[in-house]
Amino acid sequence: EPEVTQTPSHQVTQMGQEVILRCVPISNHLYFYWYRQILGQKVEFLVSFYNNEISEKSEIFDDQFSVERPDGSNFTLKIRSTKLEDSAMYFCASSVQGSTDTQYFGPGTRLTVL
């Protein structure tokens, strides 16, 4: 069964460093998403992406964040200058269609900012 994959599973970085989290969505899916979950808190929407453009973004997704689909399979989330409060699980998700369709989640990347 096709699934969303994410690398790395765990990333440790120093405050102020740049990190790139990588995702490979399910191959026939057209819509891609990033979510994050701070320990003990809700899963929160960050951004949705379709046709090489951001469709929606939350207030969390500020200028420190960017997303890119650098090739036909990868979807990346970059955090330019990490803060302590960026420590969280980051989940990539994808769906066939956008506005109503089921989103399938990858296993997540645990980001630890020291």
CA-closest candidate to residue 32, choices 42, 23, 40? 23
Among 21, 75, 104, 111, binds another protein (CB under 8 A): 104
Residue nearer to another protein on the CB measure, 68 or 101: 101
Radius of gyration of the chain (CA): 13
Q: In 3-state terms, what secondary structure has residue 9? A: coil
DSSP strand pairing (53-57 vs 5-7) = unpaired
Is residue 98 a contact residue for another protein (CB under 8 A)?
Answer: yes
Among 48, 61, 79, 87, binds another protein (CB under 8 A): 48
Is residue 61 a contact residue for another protein (CB under 8 A)?
Answer: no
Lay out the site mask for another protein across 12-41 (x = CB under 8 A, - = otherwise). Answer: -------------------x-x-x-----x
Long-range contacts of 43-47 (CB under 8 A, 24+ apart): 43/91, 46/77, 47/77
Task: Kindly state the DSSP code that residue 99 receives in the 8-state scheme.
Answer: S
Is residue 5 a contact residue for another protein (CB under 8 A)?
Answer: no
Among 5, 55, 64, 76, binds another protein (CB under 8 A): 55
Is residue 11 a contact residue for another protein (CB under 8 A)?
Answer: no
